[in-house]
Amino acid sequence: MFPLNLDTQSIQIMGIVNTTPDSFYDGGRFYEKEKAVEHALRLAEEGAEIIDIGGESSRPGAQPVSEEEELRRVIPVIEGLRRRSGIPISVDTYKSKVAEKAIEAGANIVNDISALRMDRRMVEVVKKYKVAIVLMHMQGTPSTMQVNPSYEDVLKEIFDFLKERVDFASRNGIAFERIIIDPGIGFGKRLEHNLLILRHLERFKALNRPVLIGVSRKSFIGQILNLPEEERLEGTISAICLSIMKGANILRVHDVKEVRRAVEVAKAIMGR
């Protein structure tokens, strides 16, 4: 088993494996178990330090799937990947039963877009199994978050939310050193909100936890470039390089090989 690094100085790549038919970029490509496992192994070969496996789309407007369907999609993939690799595995879910079964199958991280709010039992699962947890900011739910997102002070409100969630997790028995924070690019944010978050990402370092950033091929890049998802790689790389200069630690991406090359150059220039 590879060690899970959760310090606040390192830069790691988290490769995305969506076992869904409707994710915004790669929906349907890795819906079958064997395709998903092979893709995960390929991402690891290309330089991913973590593999993030999800069975429910969180794209804007997405509708929830049943617990049973999510389990059917993700557990065989996690089991298959764990049999063939010791790479840290993250399960992208807000459902405690899915998280528990995923951990038992070999997952090391729970990536919860609701930051422990949608399923009250989730905090107990994370505490019991002593895994890491990603606490993400989201205004609304995937089905409603882009209807009319608004803030009085987007940076302060997200910072205060993440601080409260970190404090909540710590009070409820989750070790501080196992917590990762994510400002939630694209989750209940307009273009100007996303740009402000990335421009001032260093502010979130005051929480003294690793910062995960997910910009890969997202709609704000498409808005800037007026390009569809399949043509947003260069915009993704630009946003990622600027993010690591601002303190990002974990980069959640679809295109591991290309991002890894860009990150290595950026790290050399930064002296990291």
Angle at 263 between CA 216 and CA 210, to 5 degrees: 70
Spatial neighbors of 63 by CB under 8 A, at least 6 apart, are: 143
Calculate the alpha carbon distances from 143 to 68, 148, 261 in Å: 20, 12, 35
What number of other Cβ atoms are within 10 A of residue 196's Cβ? 17
Q: Which of 189, 246, 252, 260 is catalytic?
A: 252
Nearest partner of 51 among 67, 33, 69, 37, judged by Cα:
37
Spatial neighbors of 85 by CB under 8 A, at least 6 apart, are: 40, 41, 44
Cα–Cα dist 42/47, whole Å: 9
261 is catalytic: no
Got the DSSP string for 46-96? HT-SEEEEESS--STTPPP--HHHHHHHHHHHHHHHHHH----EEEE-S-H
Spatial neighbors of 162 by CB under 8 A, at least 6 apart, are: 115, 135, 137, 181, 183, 204, 207
Strands 250-253 and 109-112: unpaired
95 is catalytic: no
What number of other Cβ atoms are within 10 A of residue 122's Cβ? 25
Q: Which of 59, 189, 218, 232 is catalytic?
A: 218
Active site residues: 218, 252
